[in-house]
Structure 1
């Protein structure tokens, strides 16, 4: 435990922080896919939100048509002001196509669709549904700084579980890559990106103005892309991070189509796009080697931390992961981000109408 400040305001939980927060003026966005249906973690999150009683809960659902009726029936069993936004229905898909916004679908697109609707509230909180350690204090912690003139708030937590260090993509890829960039470039954007203690956390909150102004990654890299946008929109003075304690999340394999290797490509793309947009030239001809050099230093530090706590640790596996992540250190590809809602060629009301018609049709 510590009480140090970063370049962004850092709010610590010294034991039982439960601040007053504008939960009744907020919409909580929870993206879900069909795998969350009746799952223990999602059940726990929604049951806990019943005690929090936010103004609204908006579930951004990505699921095939045949699964939607049962999913909605399950969600209706919770005592919440809850709306379902079915993100992959045919009318909504056609609407996006007509607006020139067709393209890859994923968590980022689901969140973008939800932000347009959620920004009717004064504040928006966003978090995943896979946390097994979810607390009723989490949403108030995320929202509290917004009533004190902050515009964007990020949660952070320790990815420590069952005597192991997790959070591998953050500590073996994101953290050393930012370090390698900061070692070569003196720029505020790198200070900003390096100030967040768990930059890949899905838990954040923002004002409605920020929610309407975010450009959003379609798939992987959502969290990092959001940080890049928060730097542009809120900056150091408008940003804060809050201590959410320990979090137990799902764990992914490194390989495979939804593994950490694939995710690193999206994270690297979003990170380097944000850095370039701020005016940094990453010197790509040497960046991969500089990343690996920094990552080896982080490897040693985390290995020592694990040994200090008598944790299970696999240095060879972590070494191998760094080699996998090296492939993601390359210039960002085409910018396929979804536009800020303030600039979008369609209105949130159009999304609401199309999604409601899609739900009616399958129910």
Structure 2
């Protein structure tokens, strides 16, 4: 905690707790430990977990004959006789399509659209990736990581792999009316992450453009709902059109909220500093971090 407080005082950590900050802490420890060349992260609430998932996820970056620096996992989101993965199906995919229509297609949007499941929490990378990657501290983590890999590496160093025949995890509520949690907050954070990345590439946003984007997204997402309905019927799955369209309505509203936050806070720092920057400011941080973790493990019997 003393190390963390020192970094916090220097503005080198995220001010708010979140998934991204937890991952950032783990990245720092991996760099400090020096005994791993390939690293994988996966969600901790997987109820269908099998060790083969980790093997499939790690293999592309652990095999020395391959040149991949990063691997993204994907899987079918079907469980309990219905389609899952609402945020990816009903927000990310139609939002990317809407961004193409509203602002024009570009290489980054094509790249993001190429991932089978962009919000999968499972990804792996080689150790050197950790040094200069900048990630969001919130639910925009998955989009942020993909965006950083696009910025730092060519596409032929990036791959995706099917890691599970069956996948299910603990589901979050929509949290309609509460932007501080659940899928509602997630949708806002993800939208902000996409807007910020596009802004770094020269896309100009305004209140009017966000209104246009919302309208384009809403119509596109409803078309996606129709397609998913047909897919569910073909595969004998349950499908609640009413709940799906309620989710689309919430996500459309949250796209506007994300846009308003983006416009109102132009100086907001979206990323946690890279570990290269942290080491530049505090040169001995990694050995101190490794020693602190070792002491904690001895103290608490880990």
TM-score of the pair, normalised by structure 1: 0.70
More helix by share: 2
> Deviation per CA, 1:186-221, whole angstroms, max 9, x where unpaired?
211001110001100010011111122210111211
CA drift of 1:310 comes to: 2.2
Aligned pair partner of 1:200 in 119, 127, 143: 119
Q: What value does the CA root-mean-square deviation take over the aligned residues?
A: 2.0
Report what 2:194 is aligned to.
271
175, 188, 191: which one pairs with 2:107?
A: 188
What secondary structure, in the 3-state scheme, does the structure 2 residue paired with 1:253 have?
A: coil
Q: 1:111 aligns with which of 7, 14, 23?
A: 23
Could you tell me how far apart the structure 2 residues matched to 1:311 and 1:169 are? Answer: 19
In 1, the alpha carbon distance for the partners of 2:222 and 2:204 equals 23
Who is 2:79 aligned against? 161
Deviations 1:156-191 (A, max 9, x none): 011100101110011000110011112341211001
Residues 1:94 and 2:13 are matched in the alignment? no
- Does structure 1 residue 130 correspond to structure 2 residue 64? no
Aligned residues: 274
What SS does the aligned partner of 2:51 have? coil
Which of 158, 167, 190 in structure 2 is aligned with 1:239? 158
Going from structure 1 to structure 2, the CA distance change for 1:259 and 1:137 (only over 3 Å counts) comes to same
Equivalent in the alignment of 1:262:
185
Alpha-carbon separation, structure 2, partners of 1:215 and 1:278: 16
CA displacement, residues 114-151 of structure 1 (integer Å, 9 cap, x when unaligned): 11221332111111111122222222222222231011
Deviations 1:303-352 (A, max 9, x none): 11112222111111111111111133243352241111112233333333
Distance 1:327 1:96 in 2: 36
Question: Does structure 2 conserve the Cα–Cα contact (< 8 Å) formed by 1:124 and 1:211?
Answer: no
Residue 270 of structure 2 corresponds to residue 351 of structure 1: no
SS of the residue aligned with 1:196?
coil
Distance 1:362 1:94, change over 3 A: farther
341-350 or 253-262, which deviates more: 341-350
Q: Which has the higher contact order (CA 8 A, sep 6+)?
A: 2
C-alpha separation in 1, matches of 2:52 and 2:24: 25
Q: Which residue of 2 aligns with 1:170?
A: 88
